[in-house]
Structure 1
Amino acid sequence: MNSWLWVGQIVLAASFIVGGLAKVAVPKDKLRGPMPWVDDLSERAVRGIGVVEVLGGAGVVLPWATGVAAVLTPIAAVGLALVMVGGFATHLRRAEYGRSLSNVAFFVVAVLVAIGRFT
């Protein structure tokens, strides 16, 4: 079980850190192609989401790996699950049903990591 949790944590970390860094570093105009939902938000909000994703991605791995404040790992996983709820709602509101599937998948992985690491 521990190995599967690590796989989930690494997948979450890699995905959210890469996606978050893109939201932080790439201008909003260039994000429109792969992320058309950015038109609904200010540039500041998009960057804020990116920062939350980077911190959550780091938080889902680093505390558990270092043994320092390991309780932060499942808390970060819960936070990432909540980010996915927001993403899912945004895609549904915009009728982007195909794009919402990744939100569901990441939500499930985040919830499983949270449950596994809380116990």
Structure 2
Amino acid sequence: MNLALWIGAALLAVVALAGGAIKTFTPQAKLAASPGGAWTGDVSAAFVKALGVLEILAAVGLIVPAVVGVAPVLVPVTALCWVLLMIGAMVTHGRRGELRFAILNLIYLALAAFIAWGRFGPWPFTG
């Protein structure tokens, strides 16, 4: 199960890093014109970039604390924060009628919940 939690954290970190980089470095007008990105046209560019930076930090928080052995409790804390972020994303996409993106957010939420459950519960990092 430890391996499954590591794989899940790595997959979620890749998703967070990619999404964060896109939100941070892509112009807002281009994001708003892309599938699933129309919501960015309804908020400020600073908000989109802030979300992007938070997603990049989440990618770091899902992997680095456990790898370096410093405050590994940050891994499940980060996963729990990702659950909250995905709830917001699901609400946003749901309100816009973008069901396929809300379902994708639900998958990411489930993966983050699995990581939080596993690392807070039966398979915490011990050191």
TM-score (norm 2): 0.90
Unaligned runs of 5+ residues in structure 2 are 122-127
Equivalent of residue 42 in structure 1, options 25, 41, 44: 44
Percent identical pairs in the alignment equals: 38
User: What RMSD over aligned residues (CA atoms) do the two structures have, in Å?
Assistant: 0.8
Aligned length: 119
Equivalent of residue 118 in structure 1, options 104, 117, 120: 120
Find the counterpart in structure 2 of residue 22 from structure 1.
22
Runs of 4+ in 1 over 2 A off after TM superposition: none
Q: What displacement does 1:36 show?
A: 1.3
Equivalent of residue 76 in structure 1, options 78, 83, 87: 78
Q: What displacement does 1:98 show?
A: 1.4
- Which stretch of structure 1 is more off in the superposition, 13-22 or 28-37? 28-37
Mapped to 2, the partners of 1:26 and 1:98 lie a distance apart of 22
Unaligned runs of 5+ residues in structure 1 are none
Q: What displacement does 1:40 show?
A: 1.6
Classify the secondary structure of the residue corresponding to 2:100: coil
Mapped to 2, the partners of 1:92 and 1:103 lie a distance apart of 10
Q: What displacement does 1:66 show?
A: 1.4
Q: What displacement does 1:37 show?
A: 1.3
TM-score (norm 1): 0.96
Find the counterpart in structure 1 of residue 125 from structure 2.
none
Find the counterpart in structure 1 of residue 124 from structure 2.
none
Find the counterpart in structure 2 of residue 88 from structure 1.
90
- Which stretch of structure 1 is more off in the superposition, 41-50 or 28-37? 28-37
Q: What displacement does 1:53 show?
A: 0.7
Equivalent of residue 105 in structure 1, options 97, 107, 113: 107
Find the counterpart in structure 2 of residue 64 from structure 1.
66
Q: What displacement does 1:97 show?
A: 1.0
Classify the secondary structure of the residue corresponding to 1:68: coil
Mapped to 2, the partners of 1:106 and 1:98 lie a distance apart of 13
